Amino acid sequence: MAPLLLVEDLRTYYVGFGGTRVVKAVDGVSFSVEAGETFGLVGESGCGKTTTCHAIVRLLAPSARIVSGRIELEGEDLVPKSQGEMRRIRGRRIATILQDPMASLDPLFSIYDQVAEPAYYHQGLRGRSLRVRVKQLLDAVRIPSPELRMKDYPHQMSGGMRQRIVGAIAQAGGPRIIIADEPTTNLDVTIQLQYLNLLKDLQRATGVALIFVTHNLGIVAKMCDRVGVMYAGKIVEMQSVRGLFYRPRHPYTRALLDSIPKLGVREALCGIPGQPPDLADLPRGCSFHPRCPRAVDRCLDEEPKSHALNGDGSVRCWLPIGEPAANG
């Protein structure tokens, strides 16, 4: 059976200065998401996570181009669709929760209006049944006294509540998959945990799949079933969460794991030396080679292809951790 969402060799570039500057933000990304599963996309800031999400729902900046690739939702390619067609798909079949709840809510409309709109537009609900649905959605994201609070405007709510409202809006059109792009980055840690639990509960109740984008590996461990690690516009390693934490194969994944502080261990933290590369001027060979402790000559000139790992997953590296002679 086809996966719910299949992204295949997606390339999305930002083109500026009359075509002389090309930022290869997404450069050959492939992954799939099954119904009901949570797929994580993780990596340092600037590696192309948000651009990948925006390409899927086609909410790209004007300078961005989907250069090639396929994005299949339930077997149907979204890349050739017009903006009008995408408007009928967004909200109804695939929804988003973005990083900044204040920017995703409209200050001029009440909470009721904003939660009701997708249910009105995509599910054809009207009058009393629309009101009942809004109350139900607000209940599900644990807004206290929803009948009262639905008359409020975004500025009357706390940051955590606003983000929960955004969660309710994402659910309102009854999508099969929700893309959550760093949905808790702007929340306090305690509120963050509540929100992650809430998303898990919603998922259990509705069976919706999630693409969960974060730079926080602790959140990945809590939320995801499988994970793609992004570096410089590419997925450099993909594994089950268990595999990734217990047996990371790409040196970049290893470095990310080593940079997490561990409770009760008084060692110096290992950051990753250097900076992610300029995506408009990538190094030759493997993009990670200037920061990689395992780099050999081949890594300097030849770009590694993605290859399947024993069991499940893939890695893009000439010398993956744990199989020194395989590709040397």
Ligand X SMILES: Nc1ncnc2c1ncn2[C@@H]1O[C@H](COP(=O)(O)OP(=O)(O)O)[C@@H](O)[C@H]1O
Binding interface with ligand X (CB under 6 A)? 14, 23, 25, 43, 45-51, 61, 63, 279
Q: Select from 15, 50, 46, 17 the least CA-distant residue to 278.
A: 46
The values of phi and psi at residue 170, to 5°, are -60, -35
Partner residues linked to 40 by β-bridges: 212, 227
> Alpha helix (H) ranges present in the chain?
49-57, 83-89, 101-104, 111-123, 127-140, 146-149, 159-172, 189-206, 217-223, 241-246, 251-258, 297-301
Rounded to a whole number of angstroms, the minimum distance from the CB of residue 50 to Mg ion is 3
Identity of the residue, 67 or 309, whose beta carbon is nearer to ligand X in the bound complex: 67
* Nearest-angstrom CA–CA distance, 105 and 120: 17
Q: Select from 163, 132, 159 the least CA-distant residue to 146.
A: 132
Identity of the residue, 45 or 190, whose beta carbon is nearer to ligand X in the bound complex: 45
Helix (H, G, I), strand (E, B) or coil at 36: coil
Partner whose footprint covers residue 143, from ligand X, Mg ion, none (CB < 5 to 8 Å by kind):
none
Rounded to a whole number of angstroms, the minimum distance from the CB of residue 154 to ligand X is 24
Identity of the residue, 71 or 213, whose beta carbon is nearer to Mg ion in the bound complex: 213
- If you write DSSP's letter for every residue of 285-306 in order, what string do you get? S-TTGGG-TT--HHHHHSPPPE
Rounded to a whole number of angstroms, the minimum distance from the CB of residue 113 to ligand X is 29
How many CA atoms lie within 13 Å of 81's alpha carbon, on the beta-carbon side?
21
Identity of the residue, 63 or 158, whose beta carbon is nearer to ligand X in the bound complex: 63
Identity of the residue, 41 or 115, whose beta carbon is nearer to ligand X in the bound complex: 41
Q: Interface with Mg ion by CB under 5 A: which residues? A: 49-50
Rounded to a whole number of angstroms, the minimum distance from the CB of residue 168 to ligand X is 24
Partner whose footprint covers residue 291, from ligand X, Mg ion, none (CB < 5 to 8 Å by kind):
none
Dihedral, CA atoms, 200, 201, 204, 208, nearest 10 degrees? -60
Partner whose footprint covers residue 48, from ligand X, Mg ion, none (CB < 5 to 8 Å by kind):
ligand X
Partner whose footprint covers residue 96, from Mg ion, ligand X, none (CB < 5 to 8 Å by kind):
none
Identity of the residue, 3 or 48, whose beta carbon is nearer to ligand X in the bound complex: 48
Rounded to a whole number of angstroms, the minimum distance from the CB of residue 286 to ligand X is 18
Rounded to a whole number of angstroms, the minimum distance from the CB of residue 310 to ligand X is 29
